[in-house]
Copies of this chain bind each other. A is one copy, B any other.
Amino acid sequence: MKKDAKISNAVIKRLPRYRRYLKELQKKGVDKISSNEFSSLIGYTASQIRQDLNNFGGFGQQGYGYNVEGLYNEISAILGLDKEYKMVIVGAGNLGQAIANHTYYYKAGFVVCGIFDINPRLIGLKINDIEVMDYETIVDYVEQNQIDIGIICTTKDSAQEVADKLCFAGVRGLWNFAPIDLEVPEYVAVENVHLSDSLHSLAYHMNRNYEEKEKAAEK
């Protein structure tokens, strides 16, 4: 890492995308790529690509470009994907179950260790080999198993209470699927997946596209 200045979130949000494209290139057996070639592939300007990467260090080589495998590994390390994360899911409803079943996360170093719910009918159930446990026991479990991430798949009404408990028990990050903005201690990272917000902005863009089409048709 090169500079110590805070890196903007806009840059961070682009890193997983860089990484995805680099993975594809690797699969295709591509060894090296210039910022220009990468630009026409990924759709960011070459300038932005170089600027982004230089926030973390000089990964390229003048006159050559970037080594695909090397850059992939660097970005993985920057994101912290060379580590393993232990996670618990709170809420064994549809979404919680879907995430528990999504074995991708396991492969990628994100291990779902347990699922918690208050519903007695769900407690004891096994989802993808992971037991649904009683929410009452979550603090002990998180402490004893050194859980890193809590995944909140509850309703919005219980989400803050769950977040408080998880933070108290020692998680370092929350992946929040409840449609609410959580308050957490500053050392806990929160990443929101607000599905309804996402759907609403889709609706907006659909209607704008429609309006434009209408307007174009008038001419």
Contact = CB atoms under 8 A, between A and B. Distances in A.
A206 B179 CA distance: 21
The residue in A191, A195, A203, A205 that gathers the most chain B C-beta atoms within 10 A of its C-beta is A203
Contact of A79 (B187, B189, B200): B200
Given A80-B204, A95-B102, A200-B15, A189 B209 contact: yes
A172 B108 contact: no
A209 B195 contact: no
Contacts of A180: 20
Contact of A204 (B12, B43, B201, B204): B12
B187 A191 contact: no
Classify the secondary structure of A's interface with B. helix
A98 B97 CA distance: 8
Nearest to A175: B202
A200 B94 contact: no
A106 interface: no
Nearest to A95: B98
Nearest to A96: B98
A48 interface: no
B104 A196 contact: yes
Given A13-B201, A80-B204, A95-B102, 8 more contacts: A13-B197, A15-B204, A43-B181, A83-B207, A172-B209, A173-B203, A187-B212, A187-B213
Interface of A: 12-13, 15-17, 19-20, 43, 78-81, 83, 85, 94-95, 97-99, 101-102, 104-105, 108, 110, 148-149, 172-173, 175, 179-181, 186-191, 193-210, 212-213
